Amino acid sequence: MKKSLHVQIAVIAGIALCLTGAGSGLKAQRAPASAVQVGSTEIGGVVTSSKGPEAGVWVIAETTDLPTKFAKVVVTDDQGRYLIPELPKASYDVWVRGYGLVDSQKVKTEIGRQLNLTAVPAPSAAAAAEYYPGVYWYSLLQIPPKSEFPGSGLNGNGIREIMKTQHYWIDTVKNSCQSCHALGSKGMRTLEKEWGATTSSLDAWTHRVQAGQARGNMALTLGQFGPKALSLFADWTDRIARGELPTEKPQRPQGVERNVVISMWEWSMAKAYLHDAISTDKRNPRVNANGPIYGSTEESTDMVPVLDPIKNAALQIKHPYRDPKTPSSLDLTHGHSPYWGDEPIWDGHTSIHNPIMDEKGRVWFTARIRPDANPAYCKAGSDHPSAKVVPLETSGRQLSMYDPKTGKWSLIDTCFSTQHLYFAKDANNTLWTSAGGPASGVVGWLDTKLYEQTGDEVKSQGWTPLIIDTNGNGKRDAYVEANQPLDPAKDKRVMAAFYGVQPSPIDDSIWGQSMDVGFSRMDQPGYILRLVPGP
């Protein structure tokens, strides 16, 4: 992207209006909307167009007068009325956006005023479609018919043999490509002039997937498809360039959807991206009330963005790492970008994937603190109880904790790789983690109570393979490995690991999912997994 707008979205249920209708079309004989009562920290009014009151459209108020750029968005009711509540004192640009419309002119105003707005109906279906969510455009991508599966390889139909079913292809298109890129957005459904004007669309796509520092990941995914994929993406952008439009139209917000109030702040940097954010202990949402919100920037930077939603201010905290040889995204192979040229814009070592907050308001991260090679206590020959069961040679990401009260970081070296994390409601405040991809075959945890008492990162951690009770005796026994046939007298290991992780609120079990071929790049189905910890 030429410039990334990084925002944290907070959703508040309910506004000062009672919303009574559904549907965006209004009958001509409907009574005129009553005036909106506006308080000293509000902006309100009625939105109309040449068609009458406009229901279910967004009214956006945006300002740059505060320490960081701020916007608040509400939805009109069935009479076109809106009320934007609890606005900080500032001068605002206000305008209307909605399906079936094009953006209205921005009107400058102060808080505490009534402001009626004129919406602008889209002059054409193409103009209206520019405001559709990207997935409506992405749905135009052609999918190979079921008859082309399983793929017959590079010397056959151009679809790799691992694509055994059409489901595998669709899963990859959705959960691998779309999970990292809003592929239907304007910047993706059209070709940049730098490439599109002088080359074929197929050549342009070949260049596009080699641009930037994510080219390695893109190559891995495209390698799953085979050469057929690029030709379909090229066909997709060609058809859109010729004027093809989404076949479905999005519906305007209806019913209680119109009660939503969205507040947005700009934070982090234009060259960074936000993977996730945390504002409270998910077990007790009263923790850190109105306090700072912390983000995770994954590969893009080591700077953790922090937002103060009360002061409308943003700052950054540098995440440390333990080993100076920790890899950096700056070293990733990258290609020429039509937006950033030859500049490698990512420079992160810590690969901060996810944050979670504990009961004290401290923030825990899945973060890289060293190179991949594990210390000896993780490997075969170690006395660590988990290593005796499953020795681990590498981990790509470990754990960290930031204490806002002291400003101090704790770096925790784990033998298992981490991606997501979640606290259990148990006596040890156990922090459960996921590995992301299934290749590690284990689930790891940290006994945070023991860690805080002793500072011993080795004794405080553990991990386990995923063992299925295939002999049905209700307990874990000797097991056969994932690549071995079933033995009716033994249990069976599966080569899987959690992507998301969630301790159960009603018992001691831990739930997660292992991803399908599209994300895992392994020839196996996705799993929903329930892990019952034991001695």
Structural domains in the chain, CATH included, are 7-123+253-258 (2.60.40.1120), 134-241 (no CATH), 267-531 (2.130.10)
Whether 486 has a pLDDT exceeding 70, the answer reads yes
pLDDT in tens, 49-58: 999 999 999 9
For the packed helices 228-241 and 215-225, what is the interaxial angle rounded to 10 degrees?
Answer: 100
Q: Which residues contact 221 (CB under 8 A, 6 or more apart)?
A: 172, 176, 177, 521
Whether 4 has a pLDDT exceeding 60, the answer reads no
pLDDT in tens, 239-273: 999 999 999 999 999 999 999 999 999 999 999 99
Both tokens assigned to 412: 């925790």
Mean pLDDT of 490-500: 91
List, in sequence order, the alpha helices (H) in 384-497. Answer: 385-389, 448-454
How confident is residue 16, by pLDDT bands cut at 50, 70 and 90? very low
Which of 93, 106, 98, 95 is CA-nearest to residue 122? 98
Q: Which residues contact 127 (CB under 8 A, 6 or more apart)?
A: 102
Burial state string for 380-394 with b = 16 or more CB within 10 A and e = fewer than 16 = eebebebbeebbbee
Q: Residue 217 in 3-state DSSP?
A: helix
pLDDT in tens, 131-187: 999 999 999 999 999 999 999 988 899 898 888 999 989 988 888 777 677 889 999
Q: Which residues contact 175 (CB under 8 A, 6 or more apart)?
A: 515, 516, 518, 519
Q: What is the pLDDT of residue 33?
A: 59
> Which helix H or strand E contains 198, and what residues bound it?
none
pLDDT in tens, 426-469: 999 999 999 988 788 899 999 999 999 999 999 999 999 999 99
Name the burial class of residue 484, with classes exposed (0-12), middle (13-18) and buried (19+) by CB atoms within 10 angstroms of its CB: exposed
Give 535 or 480, the one with higher predicted confidence: 480
What are residue 110's DSSP bridge partners? 91
Q: What is the pLDDT of residue 100?
A: 98
Backbone φ and ψ for 440, nearest 5 degrees, come out as -70, -30
pLDDT in tens, 55-110: 999 999 999 999 999 999 999 999 999 999 999 999 999 999 999 999 999 999 99
pLDDT in tens, 329-372: 999 999 999 889 999 999 999 999 999 999 999 999 999 999 99
Q: Does the pTM exceed 0.95?
A: no
Mean pLDDT of 200-209: 91
Q: What is the pLDDT of residue 18?
A: 33
Alpha carbons 434 and 442: distance in angstroms, whole number: 9
Q: What is the pLDDT of residue 23?
A: 34
Cβ atoms of residues 366 and 327 within 8 Å: no
Both tokens assigned to 481: 């490995």
Which of 80, 85, 71, 78 is CA-nearest to residue 118? 80
Q: Residue 182 in 3-state DSSP?
A: coil
Whether 1 has a pLDDT exceeding 60, the answer reads no
Q: What is the pLDDT of residue 279?
A: 98
pLDDT above 70 coverage of the chain, percent: 92
Mean pLDDT of 270-283: 96
Residue with tokens 């001068």: 91
Mean pLDDT of 502-521: 87
Alpha carbons 525 and 383: distance in angstroms, whole number: 35
